[in-house]
Every structure is written in structure tokens, then in C-alpha cells.
């Protein structure tokens, strides 16, 4: 009787010790993985917002009855140049924002464009606020801004779209890019004159 009691006691202490040990191991593992994640916590922890403002000719006004306004992004890892001004050359993986007479929509060129409230439209400008998460948090973003009709004719685009390229690792990224005045084949309503890009954390 006594011997079995002692045996039970011993069994109990072994179980308790094992439980404490595994608990300690779990705590240590949690601490290690927590510490390991700490230094490169920038991966998604920090929300970044991309603000883009497009200004058109002061003699024109945003005219979604006769045309469309696009901002296009190439965020692919192997990308090396900005998207073309010609929509026929755009790849399915490009993200884009389109402003037409239904408002702002966002999507990938090969899929449907979803209307959202990411932008505001003024008389002679429009501005979009885009979470960098929705572009997949890329390191580099190649861009272009174009105005066009509904059928495929481009009215205006940024003369040197490489100037629009964004390095998302730069803190307080801010750029103002000018485009030629009066070079739109669709008249002043579709003449891009300035693009302002700001990246805020």
C-alpha cells in the first residue's frame, strides 16, 4: 500500500517536472521567435499610404464625359521600366486606377476594376490615397499617368515616366513631376501638367 503511494507520488513529480519543462521550452521558443521577428518588423507592420495628385491644365477641367484618367503601376519584382502610355501594351499584372464618369476604380489590368472611395475629384485635379498593402508592399513602383478616350486613343501621358518611379524604402518620399503644357491631343481637359507623389508612414 505504502509502496504504491510512493510510486504514485514519484509518477506525479515526474509528470509535473515534464509539464514544467515543456512549458519552459514553449516559453523559450516563443521568446526566440519573437526576438527573431523583431529586427525586420518593417515587413507589413508599418502601414504606408501613397498619395498621388494629378493636376491638369488650368484652362481645362476634369471631364469624365469625354474621357478617362488613369494611373498605372508596375510593381513586379523584375520590372525595369515604367508602363507604356499605350494601354494595349499594359500587362495583366499591372495595378491601375481609373477615373471615369462612375468615379474611381482600382484593380489589375487583366481583372475587373472595383469602384472604391480611394480618390477625390476636383475641378482641375484628382487625388488618390492608396494603402501600399493593396499593391502588395513592393520595394519599387514604376508608374505612368495617362488620359485617354474610351476606345484606345491616348490623349496625354507623362513625357518621362521614369521620373515617377517610387522607392518605397525612402522615408518621407516626396516628388513633384511636371509634364509639358498643351501637349494633349484631347485638349486642355486632358492635359496633364503636374503629378505630386507622397509616401507617408
Question: Can you give the binding site for Ca ion, defined by CB under 5 A?
Answer: 156, 179-180, 183, 191-192
Question: Is 129 within 8 Å of 119 (Cβ atoms)?
Answer: yes
Q: Which is nearer to Ca ion, 150 or 182 (CB)?
A: 182
Q: Which is nearer to Ca ion, 168 or 178 (CB)?
A: 178
CA torsion 117→120→121→125, rounded to 10°? -140
Cβ of residue 182: shortest distance to Ca ion, in angstroms? 7
Cβ of residue 62: shortest distance to Ca ion, in angstroms? 14
Q: Which is nearer to Ca ion, 118 or 143 (CB)?
A: 143
Question: Is 104 within 8 Å of 180 (Cβ atoms)?
Answer: no
Residue 170 grid cell:
525612402
63, β-bridge pairs: none
Cβ of residue 91: shortest distance to Ca ion, in angstroms? 24
Q: Which residue is closest to Ca ion by CB?
A: 179
User: What is the length of the chain?
Assistant: 201
Cβ of residue 32: shortest distance to Ca ion, in angstroms? 56
Q: Which DSSP state fits 12?
A: H
Amino acid at each position: 500500500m505504502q509502496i504504491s503511494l510512493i510510486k504514485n507520488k514519484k509518477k506525479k513529480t515526474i509528470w509535473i517536472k515534464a509539464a514544467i519543462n515543456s512549458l519552459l521550452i514553449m516559453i523559450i521558443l516563443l521568446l526566440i521567435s519573437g526576438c527573431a521577428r523583431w529586427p525586420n518588423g518593417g515587413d507589413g507592420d508599418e502601414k504606408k499610404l501613397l498619395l498621388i495628385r494629378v493636376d491638369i491644365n488650368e484652362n481645362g477641367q476634369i471631364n469624365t464625359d469625354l474621357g478617362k484618367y488613369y494611373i498605372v503601376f508596375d510593381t513586379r519584382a523584375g520590372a525595369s521600366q515604367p508602363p507604356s502610355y499605350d494601354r494595349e501594351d499594359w500587362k495583366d499584372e499591372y495595378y491601375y486606377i481609373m477615373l471615369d464618369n462612375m468615379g474611381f476604380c482600382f484593380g489589375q489590368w487583366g481583372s475587373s476594376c472595383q469602384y472604391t472611395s480611394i480618390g477625390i475629384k476636383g475641378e482641375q485635379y484628382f487625388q488618390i490615397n492608396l494603402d501600399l498593402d493593396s499593391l502588395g508592399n513592393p520595394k519599387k513602383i514604376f508608374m505612368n499617368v495617362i488620359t485617354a478616350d474610351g476606345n484606345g486613343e491616348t490623349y496625354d501621358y507623362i513625357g518621362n515616366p521614369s521620373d515617377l518611379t517610387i522607392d518605397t524604402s525612402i522615408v518621407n518620399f516626396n516628388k513633384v513631376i511636371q509634364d509639358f503644357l498643351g501637349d494633349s491631343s484631347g485638349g486642355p481637359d486632358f492635359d496633364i501638367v503636374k503629378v505630386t507623389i507622397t509616401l507617408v508612414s
